[in-house]
Amino acid sequence: MPHHLYEVAGINILKLNAMYGANGAGKSNLIKALDILKEFVVTGKMPVELLTQTFKFDKESRGKDIYLGVEFIHSGTPYYYGITINGGIVVEEELQISGLQKKEDKKLFLRTDYEISGKIPIEFDEAILKDPTAELLRDFLGTEIVSRNSLVLTTFKNRNSLVFKPIVNALNWFIYYLNIISPNTKPRAQAIRFERNTEFANFAHEAIRAFNTGIKEVIVETIPVEEYYGKDNADEAAKASSDLLANPGRIQFFPGIDEEVVMVLEEGKAVAKRLLFTHVEDGGIATFNSNEESDGTRRLLDYLPPLFSAIHEAKVYIIDEIERSIHPLLIKEMISKFSADEQTQGQMIFSTHESTLLDQDIFRQDEIWFAEKKSDGATELYPLSEFKEHATIDIRKGYLNGRYGAIPFLANLKDLNWEHYAEAESI
């Protein structure tokens, strides 16, 4: 599958990755760790997990360092970014241009904080410090901007100087190109996306019909905000209109259960938008809103924006439990289509228990990974390619038979005396 390899910065990276493992093996923790790192970088606020969730099998872990790091490529430049946390303090933060093990790494900045002082030491690359504004910024960041529990990288959101472009470029990867999707993640502003992006709307309609969901057409309903809120909530409608008039480009989200309603300003008036779905059956035509569709249909709709984006853009989508609420044949068809498409640009990485995806017509062997919990409670990850299987072997059967590990260890159910407990309950 040569089209599964993207040549970037002189190396090959893969377009797909599926992670398998038993419940509790650590697949979700890997994804959560990346999500925590992204949240910290984007918001600048230390996630509470970095203060409360340490390695519980080590009684002294609360006093030890927590390290999170990720290597990535953005706009042709390879980076390595890592942070070390201890007791809620960022004791080290580093951003490097990675040598990809071919040449020496190049430091962009290094921040250390191992003792209480009035200034946080920050080192920049010498090439950056040749710019006179960089040295002033370094001192200003260390004394006035960066606190002991915040990040240097986050402070570059609004830096426009060319000398800081490599740092801003790395930050933008976290903000715009790394996307974490949990089982409860919902794409935002779907109605706006369907209405304003014709290419996406055509893609979505074609996919929805191909998946045989029963939906024939997706409609964007637009009504005045006053009508949406109703007479009994006139004050809320007036407030929403006022907020939109004060911020004409803003999109407001009305919280709902299984349905998203967005409010925007159109031609000087506040309107509410939501998606409706038309079904055509023998009994005629009917229109449903989102919360009247099945869980599986809603989950498929949730995947359409990331799937469309991964086809057209060099973005990374990391999905936990990709098969949640979706029929095995549908999820296999979706991944198979992405696998076969030779024009894709992004990466899709996901955890799953769905064994029907274990197909060498869909994945390369180095795109299938297994998570195994070791005896000390830590997680080990390893690829199928380590087993050097023949390209024609049934890897699904081998996995279910325990050939590659990463499956639940089950006690002999025949030895469980269920009947005894049932009899005791009836006495």
User: How far is residue 200's CA from residue 193's CA, in Å, rounded to a whole number?
Assistant: 7
Are the CB atoms for 40 and 47 separated by under 8 Å?
yes
Q: What does the alpha-carbon distance between residue 257 and residue 211 come to, in Å, rounded to a whole number?
A: 24
End-to-end CA distance of the chain: 63
Say if residues 407 and 399 touch (Cβ distance below 8 Å): yes
pLDDT tens profile 95-128: 999 999 889 999 999 999 887 777 888 899 988 8
CA dihedral 98→104→109→115, nearest 10 degrees, is 110
Q: How many whole angstroms separate alpha carbon 162 and alpha carbon 320?
A: 37
pTM for this prediction: 0.89
State whether residue 212 is helix, strand or coil: coil
Domain ranges for the chain, please list them. 1-185+314-427, 214-292
CB 290 within 8 A of CB 261: no
In order of 74, 109, 157, 219, 420, the CA distances from 106 in angstroms are: 16, 9, 22, 51, 67
Cβ atoms of residues 192 and 218 within 8 Å: no
- List pLDDT tens digits, range 54-85: 777 887 877 888 899 999 999 999 999 999 99
Please report the pLDDT score of residue 355 as a whole number.
93
What is the per-residue pLDDT across 278-296, written as a single tens digit (0 to 9) for each?
A: 998 887 899 999 889 988 8
